[in-house]
Structure 1
Amino acid sequence: MPDNAVPRIPCTVVIPARNEAAALPEVLSRLSRFAEVVVLDSQSEDATAEVAEAHGARVLQFAWDGRYPKKRNWFLLTHPPATPWVLFLDADEFVDAAFVEALARAIRRDDVVGYWLTYSNSFLGRPLRHGVPQRKLALFRVGAGLYERIEEEAWSGLDMEIHEHPILEGRTAEITVPIEHRDDRGLAQFLRKHIDYAAWEAKRTAALAGDPLAWEALTGRQRFKYRHIGAGWYAMFYFVYTYVVKLGVLDGRAGYHYATYKAWYFRTIRLLLREQSRTK
């Protein structure tokens, strides 16, 4: 618990989780300055809920029916935080004191409704210091907006918004102090996860083609991706961009293999799109 002389940060931290009992103690130990911590549990088969409660977090159980809303929007719509700000943090993301202090300063601004956050990453046991930076709009004012509404029907088993971003009414800014992202649970897990992501992305790419309203809500980066993701050159473009232009080469073998597997990911999406078009 924080010193009573130190006021709590008026922000609720929300951690979507499934079978994360091993990671949660360290994640939660770094969040003592926040007004509330909520763990959104997807019916875990391990002690995720018990561990979360033992560390002072509130636990909510979520069971997805394959339709809107998914996990984060479900929380915002049915259990809106009492604090003015909300931070969504994954169970493999670890904040430090420098980030917490930067957040505490940032949310004092009256002219900003959300912040893009940056994340460190690793692959094959090595830190990735270059390449395309990971960024998410994961901190915003409660009531400023929701994650993109996508009317999917169980495109994959992903019960949480993964590639969707919040649509906010107001100005956004950036916190440059990074969050440590420990997404390095072995190559097999990486591949399984990206196969799920690819299946979802292929379905969404096809759906966007006939939905001009959804297209208008995309960021510029998203529009570029979805406009070209089915092109034969896109995977190689991504490899060159992340490995050469963004200096992923300086990360050694890990940087090369990461760029290679991300190119494989985009080729997989392209092939899934072609497969979908043949089965219509």
Structure 2
Amino acid sequence: MQKIPASILIQTKNEEASIEKCVAALRDFDEIIVVDSNSTDRTAELAAASGATVINFTWNGEYPQKKQWQLEHAPTRNPWILFLDADEYPSRELVEEIAAIVSDPLERRVAFDIPISYHFAGKVLKHGHRVVKRSLLKRGYNHYEDTGLLKLPVMTELEVHYQPEARGDVGRTEGLLAHHDLDPVRTWFDRHNRYSDWEAYIHADPAMRRTVRSSKSLQGQRFDVVPFKPLAFWVYSYVVRRGFLDGRAGLDYAVALATYYWQIGLKTRELKRNGWRLADHA
């Protein structure tokens, strides 16, 4: 069977629990490249044994970060790139949709936002809030802008929570990208505690917040300006988006994300109270 003419770029760092399943789910694609950040476990070894090409990435603390570096330097042989984490894999519907997109010589869109099917607390969530990521990109038409975020004291090597800028039309897929995190739920809270630090620094600086907002999805831009965000998000996710239909996991997820937004607000107020400004740390 002819392979789908797209290159997969998988971001990894100590992902030995997930990487084999991730690579196996991508067998229909022409090229799979794992971009590993100096893993200390068997991630690189298992990825190579599964048939992926493995390249190493060491961040120097400056622009570009990991995804933009790949857009500039990863040796892909296809014009279309699908960015994935090791705990993500495309549904069969999404695989077929991507195949049609990248094989169409008349396709004029240069990037696609992909909705995420989230796995939380042992259950696939079919309702509630759905995250959307701009993960399918045509090379040469997309880039992660240097927004000045690297001046923040909590930045890491990977661009998170903001989207690449597209030089052209952007579409949205119907098919879903499955996010199946095999780590214990405490790691979700560990990550989001770090994310809330990052978001708080951004929210404490009005100019930076406007810059980052402009690089988010339309959904993210709208939600960024919603007042009483923890309560508003809980109502939106659990009631409006019918998260209650997912049972206890739906309730837990809505509460967890509402708590995340509460953390952002609490940390932002503390930074403002202490007079923190990005310009003072540039």
- 2:270 maps to 1:272: no
The amino acid that maps onto 1:183 is D
In the TM superposition, what are the counterparts of 1:153-172 in structure 2 within 5 Å?
A: 153=151, 155-156=153-154, 158-172=156-170
Identical amino acids, percent of aligned pairs: 33
CA spacing shift, 1:122–1:243, aligned 2, 3 Å = same
The amino acid that maps onto 1:182 is H
Distance 1:213 1:194 in 2: 21
Q: CA deviation at 1:149?
A: 2.5
- 2:134 maps to 1:143: no
Normalised by the length of structure 1, the TM-score is: 0.89
- 2:232 maps to 1:237: yes
Q: CA deviation at 1:218?
A: 4.3
The amino acid that maps onto 1:149 is D
SS, match of residue 59 in structure 1? strand
SS, match of residue 39 in structure 1? strand
Q: CA deviation at 1:80?
A: 5.4
Task: Tell me, yes or no, if the aligned pair for 1:66 and 1:153 is still in contact at 8 Å.
Answer: no
- 2:29 maps to 1:34: yes
Task: Tell me, yes or no, if the aligned pair for 1:38 and 1:58 is still in contact at 8 Å.
Answer: yes
Please tell me the root mean square deviation across aligned C-alpha atoms, in Å: 2.0
5+ residue gaps, structure 1, are 1-5
Q: 2:117 corresponds to which residue?
A: 120
Q: 1:3 corresponds to which residue?
A: none
Specify which of 65, 68, 82 is matched with residue 70 of structure 1.
Answer: 65
Distance 2:113 2:202 in 1: 23
Instruction: Tell me the alpha carbon deviations over residues 183-202 of structure 1, each in whole angstroms, 9 at most, x when there is no partner.
Output: 35222111101001111111
Distance 2:26 2:220 in 1: 31
Distance 2:152 2:174 in 1: 35
The amino acid that maps onto 1:41 is D
5+ residue gaps, structure 2, are 276-282
Task: Tell me, yes or no, if the aligned pair for 1:155 and 1:199 is still in contact at 8 Å.
Answer: no
Task: Tell me, yes or no, if the aligned pair for 1:67 and 1:153 is still in contact at 8 Å.
Answer: no
Task: Tell me, yes or no, if the aligned pair for 2:32 and 2:53 is still in contact at 8 Å.
Answer: yes
Specify which of 232, 241, 251 is matched with residue 246 of structure 1.
Answer: 241
In the TM superposition, what are the counterparts of 1:17-28 in structure 2 within 5 Å?
A: 17-28=12-23
Task: Tell me, yes or no, if the aligned pair for 1:205 and 1:226 is still in contact at 8 Å.
Answer: no
Q: CA deviation at 1:236?
A: 0.5
Q: CA deviation at 1:206?
A: 3.1
Task: Tell me, yes or no, if the aligned pair for 2:213 and 2:224 is still in contact at 8 Å.
Answer: no
Q: 2:56 corresponds to which residue?
A: 61
Q: 2:187 corresponds to which residue?
A: 189
More deviation in 72-81 or 34-43?
A: 72-81
More deviation in 196-205 or 63-72?
A: 63-72
The amino acid that maps onto 2:18 is A
Q: CA deviation at 1:210?
A: 5.0
Q: 2:41 corresponds to which residue?
A: 46
